[in-house]
Structure 1
Amino acid sequence: MTTAQPAPAPLTRPELVCPAGTPAALKSAIDAGADCVYVGFRDETNARNFPGLNFNRRELAEGIEYAHGKGAKVLVAVNTFPRAGQPEIWHRAVADCDELKADAVILADIGLIDHAARHHPNLRLHLSVQAAASNPDAIRFYADRYGIKRVVLPRVLTVQEIAEVNARIAPIETEVFVFGGLCVMAEGRCALSSYATGQSPNINGACSPASDVRYTETNEGITSELGGFTINKFAHTEPAGYPTLCKGRFIANDKASYLFEEPTSLNTLAILPDLIRAGVTAFKIEGRQRGRAYVAAVVGAFRQGVDAVLAGKSLPDIDLDRITEGGKQTTGAYEKAWR
C-alpha cells in the first residue's frame, strides 16, 4: 500500500519591483503590472544621478499618488554615501520620503540608516544592494540594530545560497535582481570610474557620468571613451556597450579582450520557478536610466512570467535580446558553476 505524499506548499507571490527614472517611466511600469516602483531624487543622494533622470519633490508626490491609486508602492533609493561632515542633503532626502509617505526608503550607509531609524521610526527601511550584505549574520545585524525590513541581496549568490539565507533570516524579506545590468565589483564599493572622471559612483551617484562619455565614429567602427581614456572599439556590425571600465576591452599579452566582464544583461526568466521556491520576497528589475519602452517591455515580460509560474503554467517564450546590453543574456551567479 502506497502512502500518499503531502501536497507541495503553495508558492508565495513575489512583488515585482520595477525601475522608474522619470515620472513617465513610473506610469509605464505600473500600467505594465509593477507591484512597486523604485525611484530617486534629482541629486547625488541616489546612485543613478544622471542628467534628465529622477524626481523633484512635487513629481514624487504626484508619482506616489498615482501609484497608490493603482494599488502599487513607491520605494525611494537614498543609496549613496553622505560626504563626511556634510550629511544634510541625505538627511533631508530621508525626511522628505517620510513626509511624502513613500512606502520605503532604500539605504546603504550605516550612519544614514542609524539616523533614519532614530528620527523617522515609522518609515520602512530597506537595505540597499550597495551595502553588500550577503550573509545571515550581516543581515540580522541590520535588522536587529536598525529595524531593516528587507535586504536587496548582492548579485553574487546562487539560488541555493539564497534559499539557505532566507531559511536563516525569516521573517526578514529578501529582494533579488532578475533583469538588467550587472556589476562585477563588490556592490557599493566601486571606484574604477572615479579614477577616470573624478566623480565617485558611491558619493556623486554616477558610474561613468554622461558628461565624460565620448563616442567617435571611424572607418573601422566606433571608439568609446571615458574621461579621455579609450574604453573600447566596436566594429560597425557589433553592438556598442556603455563605456564603463569594468566592461571595457583592453590589450593584455598582445590580445584584446574583456578582462573583467563582457557587456551583457542579467535575465532570469528561465529560472523564475527556482527563485520563487527559494523564498524570495521581491524581484527587482534594473534600469532607472532606461526609457519607457524598455520599462514596459521588461515589466510586461516578468509580469507574464511570475503569473504563469503561480498558475502552474509553462513559462512564456519571450525574447528580450533587443533590449539587453550587447545583445547578450546571462543568469549570472544564480547558476554559477565556478569557485
Structure 2
Amino acid sequence: MTIPHTRPELVAPAGSLRALKLAVDAGADAVYLGLRNATNARNFAGLNFDLPQIREGVAYAHARGRKVLVALNTFVRAADPKPWYEAVDCAAELGADALICADVAVMAYARDHHPALRLHLSVQASATSHEAIAFYRQHYGIQRAVLPRVLTLSQVGHLLRNAEVEIEVFGFGSLCVMVEGRCALSSYATGQSPNNAGVCSPPSAVRWTDTPAGVESRLGGLLIDRYAPDEPRGYPTLCKGRFDVGGRRDYAIEEPTSLNTLAILPELMAIGVRAIKLEGRQRSPAYVEQITRVWRQAIDAAATAAAAGAPGRYRVEPAWTATLGHLAEGQQHTLGAYERPWQ
C-alpha cells in the first residue's frame, strides 16, 4: 500500500532543451523527454532530444536538484528491437533518473542490464488496476505507474489503497479518451499511431480547408469536423471528431478539451497520489513554462493548506484558470473521467 504524500512531485513535459530549462526554472520537480526516434510516443518532426542535448539537459536539471525521466514508451518492433535497447543504454549512460516504459521487452532489458535504473510504467501500458500494476512490479521491478485518464477519483483511490508502487496521474493537458496504449484509430486513418510510430494523428496527415460550409479538418483524407469561422478548433483526431450518429451531429466520443484537475488537487493529494504529470511535449516552450508555473503555485498552495490542517482553504485562483483556459485545447477544460456521472 502506498503512503500518502502531502506534496506530490510536479512532472513537466520537455519537447526541447529550451522547454526543459524553462520547466525547471518554473518549478518542475522532474521533466520527461524523449529521443528523436520512434522509441517515444511523441515522435514529431522538430521535437525531442539528440544525445548532446540530453546530456546538457540532465546536467542543468541535476545542478538544480531536479530529475530527468526518459520516455521509451512505444512498443518494440519484433523484427528490430535494437533501437529500444540502445535507447535504454543511452539513458542510463547519460544519467537519467528513470525510464518511462510500456513494453515488457524494454523493461526486461533495463532490469537485466541496468538494475539500478528506476522504471516507471507508462500510461501506454494501460494498467488500470492494482493487480496489473503488481504484475509489472513483481516481474520487472517498476517503482511508479502512470495511470490512464479513464479512471474516476474513487477508482484511483481504490487502486492507491492496494498498490505497492508510487502512482502518478495526469493533471493538465490534452485528454486521451481511448484505451491508452491500445488505440488503433490513428493507425486506421494514417497508418501511424503512438503504439508503433510514436505519433498520434501525424501533422503530415492533417489538412485544414476553407469551404462554403465552413472550415473542414481532415485526417488522412477522412473528414473529422467542420467549424464555423469563429468556432474554437481542436487538433483533428478521430476520437475528438464530430460525426452523424443516430441522426444527430455531435462529438461521438469526446470533445476537444484539455484535462484540468486543479479543482480536485486536494483530493488527489489526500488519497496519496505521488506525482502530478503535465501533458504537452509537442507544445511550445512558452506553454510549458506557463503551465508549470501555475501548477507549482497550486501544489504549493494545496500543500500549505493541508499542512495547516485546513485543506478546505485551498482555492483555485482566477489567474490560474485564466492562464490554463487560454492554453487549453479548444480553450475548454474538463475533469474528464473524474466527473463522469455514468461511472
CA drift of 1:180 comes to: 0.7
1:166 correspondence with 2:160: yes
Mapped contact 2:99–2:118 kept (Cα < 8 A) = yes
1:53-100 alpha-carbon deviations (Å, 9 max, x no partner): 000111001000001111110000000001112101011111101100
Match of 1:6 in 2: none
The separation in 2 between residues aligned to 1:132 and 1:17, in whole angstroms, is: 19
The separation in 1 between residues aligned to 2:246 and 2:157, in whole angstroms, is: 41
Match of 1:143 in 2: 137
Match of 1:89 in 2: 83
1:311 correspondence with 2:304: yes
Output aligned runs, 1:266-285, within 5 Å.
266-285=259-278
Mapped contact 1:220–1:236 kept (Cα < 8 A) = no
Which of residues 39, 59, 68 in structure 2 aligns to 1:65? 59
Which of residues 204, 210, 230 in structure 1 aligns to 2:203? 210
Match of 1:177 in 2: 170
1:288 correspondence with 2:281: yes
1:153-209 alpha-carbon deviations (Å, 9 max, x no partner): 111222222222112123x10000010111121110011111111123201001000
Amino acid paired to 1:70: R
Mapped contact 2:4–2:270 kept (Cα < 8 A) = no
Match of 1:336 in 2: 340
Output aligned runs, 1:1-339, within 5 Å.
12-170=6-164, 172-312=165-305, 313-315=313-315, 316-317=317-318, 318-319=320-321, 320-339=324-343
Amino acid paired to 1:190: C
Amino acid paired to 1:55: F
Amino acid paired to 1:285: L
CA drift of 1:11 comes to: 5.2
What TM-score comes out, normalization by structure 1 length? 0.94
Mapped contact 2:5–2:273 kept (Cα < 8 A) = no
| 3-state SS in 2 of match to 1:311 | helix
Mapped contact 2:4–2:272 kept (Cα < 8 A) = no
CA drift of 1:220 comes to: 4.2
Amino acid paired to 1:314: Y
Mapped contact 2:193–2:201 kept (Cα < 8 A) = no
The separation in 2 between residues aligned to 1:159 and 1:193, in whole angstroms, is: 28
Mapped contact 2:41–2:199 kept (Cα < 8 A) = yes
CA drift of 1:334 comes to: 1.9
CA drift of 1:10 comes to: 8.8
Structure-2 change in CA distance of 1:11 and 1:132 (3 Å): closer
Mapped contact 2:4–2:274 kept (Cα < 8 A) = no
Mapped contact 1:213–1:227 kept (Cα < 8 A) = yes
CA RMSD between the two structures: 1.4
Mapped contact 2:5–2:274 kept (Cα < 8 A) = no
The separation in 1 between residues aligned to 2:266 and 2:248, in whole angstroms, is: 40
Structure-2 change in CA distance of 1:253 and 1:156 (3 Å): closer
CA drift of 1:235 comes to: 0.7
| 3-state SS in 2 of match to 1:271 | helix
- Unpaired runs of 5+ residues, structure 2, are 306-312
The separation in 2 between residues aligned to 1:201 and 1:68, in whole angstroms, is: 29
1:260-293 alpha-carbon deviations (Å, 9 max, x no partner): 1110110011110000001000000011111122
Mapped contact 2:73–2:122 kept (Cα < 8 A) = yes
What TM-score comes out, normalization by structure 2 length? 0.93
1:195-254 alpha-carbon deviations (Å, 9 max, x no partner): 111123201001000111111123443211111111111111101110101111112233
CA drift of 1:296 comes to: 1.3
| 3-state SS in 1 of match to 2:276 | strand
Match of 1:3 in 2: none
Structure-2 change in CA distance of 1:271 and 1:207 (3 Å): same
CA drift of 1:48 comes to: 0.4
Amino acid paired to 2:270: R
The separation in 2 between residues aligned to 1:11 and 1:154, in whole angstroms, is: 21
Mapped contact 1:160–1:278 kept (Cα < 8 A) = no
Amino acid paired to 2:241: G
| Bigger Cα displacement from structure 2, 28-37 vs 252-261 | 252-261
Mapped contact 1:11–1:310 kept (Cα < 8 A) = no
Mapped contact 1:41–1:55 kept (Cα < 8 A) = yes
Mapped contact 2:30–2:66 kept (Cα < 8 A) = yes
